[in-house]
Amino acid sequence: MTVTARTPDPWKTGRRVAFWSILVSACLAASNLRGGWLAGSTSVFAIGLEFVGDVISSTVVLMGMLIGAKPADSNHPYGHGRIETITGLAVGFILVAGGIGISYRSLQEVDKTHDPPGLFAVWLLLGTIATRSIMSTVKFRTGRRIRSASLVADAWNDAVDILSATAALVALGLTLYRPEQFRAADHYGGFAVGLVIVFTGLSVLRDGSMELMDVMPDLLFLEEIRRVAASVPGALGVEKCRARKSGVQYYVDLHLEVDPNLTVWESHELAGQVRSRLRQELAWIADVLIHVEPSPAVEQRRSS
């Protein structure tokens, strides 16, 4: 029997990643804002503003995880996990608003004559791309492992930062290469950064909305639930299997097929064993509601 390794503490893991993300984003924001101002680069300064939004969004994610980890109570029998989805939506709104603001600001001075940006701004952008690549990879892996919507949304935010910084780097390079011909390229690079952020924010909002509408998880997850449930001796099959997400975990509704000759007490005990096995082996399951049904296979054998 294949046993799925449990995540030690998905909420704690997510909080740790979000905390370090805030620190790194704050350092990147400060360096790019100051560097963009000193270098006279609109695109680099726009990247700095984007990182200010990242600090805000990562703080929102961290707050969501702190609240979402609270245990269930009488008013919240399914826990507080949905706040984590809501914080993912908040990140989407921050991205859209920030992208619009960056695009608008980048075009404000596009027609003005000024000196070309300083060359050291290129090194700032290269360092930004390298740092964000590492952060995005860590967040994607962690977010998908613990099934955190807000952490994955934050990872997409970092991925957009890479694309934005690359666009800014190209625009800055053109301006430095031929200042007379491509003097406005740096401004248009900032505008492109803003557009990319807007479209990414809309994508994050779409994913979060689907989660609030209780969209079913991937078929692979459902098959894993069925496999673990069927591994319990006495469990003859699973007729229906539904799951809805709350935070980083799922609440499962299961129709378990058992031998119709079992007593009510025996069926109840078997259902309890299946519930315990699912929660033990699959860390992403918060709880399971099991409905016991007579197995049609046993009924067919009896009638034949």
* Alpha helix (H) residue ranges in the chain: 10-39, 42-68, 82-108, 120-146, 149-177, 185-212, 219-230, 264-281, 296-303
HSE of 102, CA atoms in CB hemisphere, 13 A: 34
15/23: higher pLDDT: 23
DSSP class of 217: -
110/32: higher pLDDT: 32
Indicate left, alpha or beta for 146 from its phi (over 0: left) and psi (-120 to 50: alpha): alpha
Hey, what CATH topology would domain 10-212 get? Alpha-lytic protease prodomain-like (1.20.1510)
Which residue is listed with tokens 């029997």? Answer: 1
119/116: higher pLDDT: 119
Q: What is the pLDDT of residue 145?
A: 77
pLDDT digits (tens, 9 = 90+) for 6-21: 445 666 777 777 788 7
Q: Which residues contact 273 (CB under 8 A, 6 or more apart)?
A: 232, 234
Q: Where in the chain is the domain with CATH 1.20.1510.10?
A: 10-212
pLDDT at 296 over 50: yes
What average pLDDT score do residues 54-72 get?
74
pLDDT at 115 over 70: no
Residues 116, 179 contacting (CB under 8 angstroms): yes
User: With bands split at pLDDT 50, 70 and 90, how would you rate the model's confidence at 2?
Assistant: very low
177/89: higher pLDDT: 89
pLDDT at 200 over 80: no
Q: How far apart are CA 180 and CA 121, in angstroms?
A: 19
Indicate left, alpha or beta for 7 from its phi (over 0: left) and psi (-120 to 50: alpha): beta
**What mean pLDDT value characterizes the chain?**
79
Q: What is the pLDDT of residue 226?
A: 92
Q: Where in the chain is the domain with CATH 3.30.70.1350?
A: 219-303
User: With bands split at pLDDT 50, 70 and 90, how would you rate the model's confidence at 5?
Assistant: very low
249/119: higher pLDDT: 249
Q: Look up residue 281 and give its amino acid.
A: E
pLDDT at 117 over 70: no
Q: Which residues contact 121 (CB under 8 A, 6 or more apart)?
A: 35, 36, 39, 41, 44, 172
Hey, what CATH topology would domain 219-303 get? Alpha-Beta Plaits (3.30.70)
| Angstrom distances, CA of residue 196 to CA of 93, 151, 159, 201, 230 | 14, 19, 11, 9, 46
Q: How far apart are CA 162 and CA 136, in angstroms?
A: 9
User: With bands split at pLDDT 50, 70 and 90, how would you rate the model's confidence at 1?
Assistant: very low
pLDDT at 303 over 50: yes
> Does the model's pTM come out above 0.75?
no
pLDDT digits (tens, 9 = 90+) for 222-231: 898 999 999 9
